[in-house]
Structure 1
């Protein structure tokens, strides 16, 4: 690009770094759209096919299949004399800058504050963008220190793809853990109860002799559509009947809330029984306790556990331990589980593309698209990933739920 600029503007002295910085600034500031950049490219760079000689045309015909294959697999510029080289370099530079910004932004963002990635269409254009960013991730993945950083790099790449293709990304953070939001049906019923209680208060005030305009207006609205007039002699009885009717409605709405809540609890327990019985029994035996009480004293906690674990204790084992040891002596150890990149790729391939992600918010589609994570570009990335996965305990809560969901069954020999 610098050589081409020197040919177009020989009177200007610009270094390669300065020219790259100017191009990056123009692309980031979005001064020109894609159509305008294409028009400027056509005006500034004349086609060299007309002036090409027969001697120059032969090597171009030989190199054409290689250029086509390279453009399909990785969008790397092959021929600097090509008419579309400048636009392709500008587009790649623009994509690289977006990727860098997205990765830096993701690294400094907690998991719960990450944006929600949308589902993108499986079109050729979107797949081409994913393929273009795939080789750019190799540098970041080689410098990755642990599994969490690898996950943040992948999430940043997915965010960059969404920004490049113009997909709408929600800026609101994702709620993690169990949602504490009140269901819509319960909110509607509670709003009815609140309005009914407010109306009861206004009716009681009017019955007590409060004739302020706001109170009178509310009472008239309460008896709208009926033949009741506020000047009737039996208005006190009508007010009492109306108040009793509202109280009965409030009681009925309260019973409806309790009935709906019990039904929802039964439904969730039945569904949990089908999927995870252990978790259901634990929830029944040890109900969730809200942490509203005072926090435990740190000194008392340390003293309690120090008294249990700091002092050596000699335990006298019974004769049953020898019987168990003799019975287990003939058990052969399980062969070590060797996880290969093909195993991980196969597990990811069978996973649905847009299944609900874990805590990291990364769908399986991005694991399939960014194959550089599995070591297809550098085996050291895969080896580092496996080392970090093997170090983490199998029964611990994984930080990267998407990866561990498929690595743990392999390590346990279940797949």
Structure 2
């Protein structure tokens, strides 16, 4: 939609009118949107679009100071009519400097994290993004989840990661097991990536992993290919092919073995095996010892005598001694897993170590501190 100058003026009128009223935390956007709808009934915009447009108008200086003061006076007639142009200019400068705080509702995160950090994130937008990401993650198989990118370790990103903690409480309280908790946290991490603009790979981790050849397999295949090439050139040399490239390869193969290619019987020493005969010899049953192999009946009878027939064992004195010594051993106290234990384990873990099949790095567990209580409880219940 292309905004005309009249639409921009009406957006500022609604903004100034809203500023002249008593406002709460979030209700100002609804009032501003309602006032704009009265001025532009034929125009359909959302509250977010209107707030973004006002911020753009004030930042871009689409109106000069005098025009902004005129629009402000029209929107708030009860304001001081005797305000000078200098006062109006100072007011506009202050509005431009604090436009983010005026148009957007800040989310204040943990004040102990390098001071109070106010982020330009609106609660409604964050909640909707979080809910959408969690629903999407729950409906996606584990192996088809996107790859979460590494997030820059900046103050802003750290604040954004910690901002959803209060919103995650409702989801985590309803979590039934560790798998569901992991799904919720992965959805929260995906929502944070979308908010800060870090793009997650949509190709899925299963496709990338299944198509990649493991390093150990590549090394073995490379060694097999080199061995095949060497065997082929040795066969060519034994057949009388004395081309420089063939001779050079054979000389390198026999380096350090006290073998000279000038020997008259060198071609007789280069023998190659019949692969078919080799495989047949490997598949041929091997019998150890000098006598014939035992038949099936003798084998069954031997093992049946060891396992099927009951045997009465007499417990010696050593068994009684061990039992008396074990009776005095104090049983180990039950292991209690606390949220502090989880937090300490997460704190010492590397941020971006390969996460495994779940796709969730330790970085997110450090940021979503509200999950430590749930993890402690579910880890405690897991062995039972």
What's the TM-score, normalizing by structure 2?
A: 0.50
Structure (1 or 2) with the larger CA radius of gyration: 2
Which fold has the larger relative contact order, with Cα–Cα distance below 8 Å and residues 6 or more apart in sequence?
1
